[in-house]
Chains A and B, each alone.
Chain A
Amino acid sequence: MKTIARSKAAWVAEALRQFERPLLRYAAGITGDAELARDVVQETFLKLCTADRAQVDGHLAAWLHTVVRNHALNVRKKESRMAPLLDEHAVPQADGGSGPGIEADRNETHRLIADTIRELPPDQQEACRLKFHNGLTYREISEVMGVSLGTVSNLIAGALDLLRRRLRTVLDPVREA
């Protein structure tokens, strides 16, 4: 019994180590609030503790992201219902939801990329975050977002191509002209 408990603790600790931060960012992108994101992610890990490990092993990343996503969407729904009542707690609408929360004084290229991502439609933003920040595979993203593999491929290829073209105007303006 003891060894089971210990190895479960190790399993959860490893999951925390690996996914805590990317999950928080992902959740914050959906809820638009760091505090809510923390509660969502804690809830997710608590759920992991009681989950049947056999069901989760092998697709831990997809499992965690799916739970975070569902939970964060619920929270957002609840918060947006409450917002009009509690003005001071109204969540300031982050421009573009899951766009990168980057500071303005980074270098120009980074700013260009951040701005471009924020212009993308929400599902494309979400796919980009899951791919480039959380490091999920196409298959995992399709599982988490509940869309087909083809859609994921399309979303990401489209986004990356736009980013590439925007970058070219900065990195190689002569050629573009």
Chain B
Amino acid sequence: MSNKLDHEKLTALVLGELDADNQTHISEEVESDSELRTLAKELREAANLTREVYASEPDLQLDTAQREQVMREATAQPPVSKPRRVSSKESRAGWRWWALRLVPATALVALLVVLILPLLVRPLESARRGSPADLANELALSARMAETDATEERYHAGNVRAEAEQWAMQAVEQMKARGYSASVNGGPRTPSLQDVKVGGEIRVKGNFYGQDINGLPPTGQASYFAKPDGTASPYDDPARNYWPGHNTEAYANIVENPFKRVTDEALSTFSIDVDTASYSNVRRFLEQGMLPPPDAVRIEELVNYFDYDYAPPEDRSKPFTAHVTVAGCPWNADHRLVRIGLKGWEMVKSERPASNLVFLIDVSGSMQPENKLPLVRRALRLLVRQLDERDRVAMVVYAGNSGLVLPSTPGNERKKIFRAIDHLDAGGSTNGGQGIQLAYRVAVENFLDGGVNRVILATDGDFNVGITNEGDLTRLIEEKAKSGVFLTVLGFGLGNLKDATMEKLADKGNGNYAYIDTLNEARKVLVEQMSGTLVTIAKDVKIQIEFNPARVGAYRLIGYENRVLAAQDFNDDTKDAGEIGAGHTVTALYEIVPAGAPVEAPSVDPLRYQQATGLSDAATSGELMTLKLRYKAPDGDTSKLLTFPVRDAGLGWEQADPDFKFAAAVASFGMLLRNSAHKGSATFDTVRTWAEAGLGDDPSGYRAEFLDLVGKSKTLTGK
């Protein structure tokens, strides 16, 4: 096979470069000749290996600033003015300086190996190129993170510490050699600094902090145990959910609400939730070309991200209205879908009560990246522009030390406030605990009667110095909430986001939580919804449904898994629940199996000593269920009760209103992303169809964006 022409043709065949005719013709020729077959096979192998070699090159990306500039240019209306180019060198100077500052921290060497690698790589791509986890693994190995067979004596003698330091520095060199900037990060920034004792020895773990060549934030993290034989294995901490390939983003495990038989449990009780952070978070994942980890998908937060057109209360004697609609369930033709919609009264901006705001801003080193502190600054400026002389603003920063950088200042002294915002700089480690104490104190000292008193916490959620115990921290927040000062938590950044911690903090502090990934999101949360984000119109809002067994066989609350309450908590005014803000809508969906239809829920054996008592007269009323609501005034201690009987008018899916369809589509989307057992016949295609039917006017464009995300998910899953 030395004929040059044949080689070219054969190569073209192997590379799929032939037109259809030649393709058939030549492949037939190859098939019939064993020598040609072997040759084609070898060429194919060579081509594949060559692709692998190219794919395993260190990844190169544009700087975030460069990419943003391109996107700004792409969205600019013509005629286009030429923006100043951000040089890649310029935009990275900040990070380099910061990395240098971190190096001395090496001395504090840690006991846990944490390799942080950029995980911005899309999973599909990374599958081709060798995943970041593989790279981490490789680095761990190549850095010879060999276990020093450390005994406790050696550890205390200090040898181990020195060795750990040494190979942590080696790891840094390895990272650098591969084009990553890297530094050793001493203990303070480690989320769970600990001695790991295995048998009689302490496994020494170095703590390693890397940054990709673009100065992008570290978005992935891998921890490795170094073993005595010189190999490293992934550090498996059951308390954390690594995703994908060992990310530090921590999400609490969500176990979806199962179907429950009405004969077993006729009451369903939960607290409302107006949080929407999960949606922005899911969007962030999808826009980066990754599927979100299932536990990052909180269906009720996806559904509640969107506004629905429920009629608000006519007057302020009632803080909100409740709307219940029952229609066909799109993903299971035998089931019914119940939508409960609450709408808080809408406040005209000028009627907004005065606000006493204390910003509590995390300025720890991890806040350095552009999508964190710089975005916080821009978001704060947006909010401050909404304030006037009736309002007061203070700013507390926390890192290694906490401090008041802006004493409580009237809202019209913008220059002073902006100057303080401009001077926020990242550096140091986080002590959320002290900062929170100080922020609450300032808020209480400037308490406005009848006004909005709120601490606004801006962080990436990495509380890891001082009060690191989550329980202590939430107790502190809970305690502070009693002072009448509420908490808003704004989550920033990616890769280090302790989603569950932040949500819990907001929860316990009678507040809300939003994830802010873009300036647009900041605008939505802080400006468009300002009256909602900041003004609570009812608190401890609980919902209890009593299902009528004559009409309902089983039911399932969609989402709200971490909001489910015990039946007796409904009437217990000491039990905390969600708040509803001015203009907020809250939507909850139940999937219902009509009485007589087959139920998927497991059944228990009939009781031997008891028998089911009969139905009450009301059971024959034809009512489907009764909706009960409890809420307190924002400053009240005693709850009020509202009760609404609900009938099923037999509405089909097609007849349901657009909002109903859209909410159902979003819930179904969430179930698909969670790969829920209850997703029924839904696919991303049906979700799209349903959402399109429910698109409505969509003045904000948020619903159209949802369709985009559905498309992305379909591509990513290939389903």
Interface residues of A, Cβ cutoff 8 Å to B: 1, 5-6, 8-9, 11-13, 16-17, 20-21, 24-25, 28, 34-35, 37-39, 41-43, 45-46, 49-50, 100-103, 105-106, 109-110, 113-114, 117, 128-129, 131-133, 137-138, 153-154, 156-158, 160-161, 163-164, 167-168, 171
Contacts and interface: CB of A to CB of B under 8 A. Distances in A.
Contact of A21 (B10, B14, B60): B60
Contacts of B39: 164
Interface residues of B, number: 54
Interface in B33-58: 39, 42-43, 45-47, 49-58
A102 B53 contact: yes
B53 A9 contact: no
Contact of A50 (B10, B17, B80, B179): B80
Interface centre among B7, B14, B57, B76 (most CB of A within 10 A): B57
A46 B73 contact: yes
B410 interface: no
A147 to B, nearest CB: 15
Contact of B42 (A34, A41, A168): A168
Contact of B46 (A138, A158, A164): A164
B52 A102 contact: no
B69 A34 contact: no
Nearest to B138: A105
Contacts of A100: 53-54, 57
A82 to B, nearest CB: 15
Contacts of A103: 58, 177-178
B74 A38 contact: no
Contacts of B54: 25, 100, 129, 132-133
B437 interface: no
Nearest to A101: B57
B63 A16 contact: no
A41 B62 contact: yes
B15 A25 contact: no
A48 to B, nearest CB: 8
A160 B59 contact: no
Contact of B11 (A9, A117, A137, A161): A161
Given A5-B77, A100-B53, A164 B70 contact: no
Nearest to A139: B17
Interface in B51-89: 51-63, 66-67, 69-71, 73-77, 80, 85, 87-89
Given A45-B70, A102-B57, A35 B88 contact: yes
Contacts of A9: 71, 74-75
B516 interface: no
A160 B43 CA distance: 7
Contact of A133 (B55, B80, B178): B55
B58 A101 contact: yes
Contact of A39 (B49, B74, B80, B88): B88
Contacts of A16: 62, 67, 70-71
B71 A38 contact: no
Contacts of A158: 7
Nearest to B1: A161
A38 B66 contact: yes
Interface centre among B46, B63, B71 (most CB of A within 10 A): B46
A167 B49 contact: yes
Contacts of A1: 77
17 contacts: A5-B77, A8-B75, A9-B74, A12-B74, A17-B122, A21-B59, A38-B62, A42-B66, A102-B57, A109-B49, A110-B56, A128-B50, A163-B50, A164-B39, A164-B42, A164-B46, A167-B42
Contact of A117 (B43, B53, B62): B53
Lowest 3 A-B CB distances belong to which pairs? A133-B54, A12-B74, A24-B60
B8 A153 contact: yes
Nearest to A44: B70
Contacts of B70: 12, 16, 42, 45-46, 49
B627 interface: no
Contacts of A113: 46, 49-50, 53
Contact of B74 (A49, A106, A132, A160): A49
Given A138-B15, A160-B50, 10 more contacts: A9-B71, A46-B70, A49-B76, A100-B54, A102-B53, A103-B178, A153-B12, A161-B7, A163-B49, A167-B46
A133 B57 CA distance: 10
A20 B62 contact: yes
B263 interface: no
Contacts of A101: 57-58
B142 interface: yes
Contact of B12 (A21, A49, A157): A157
A113 B70 CA distance: 36
Contacts of A13: 71, 74
Contact of B85 (A39, A114, A131, A163): A39
B85 A42 contact: yes
A160 B76 CA distance: 45
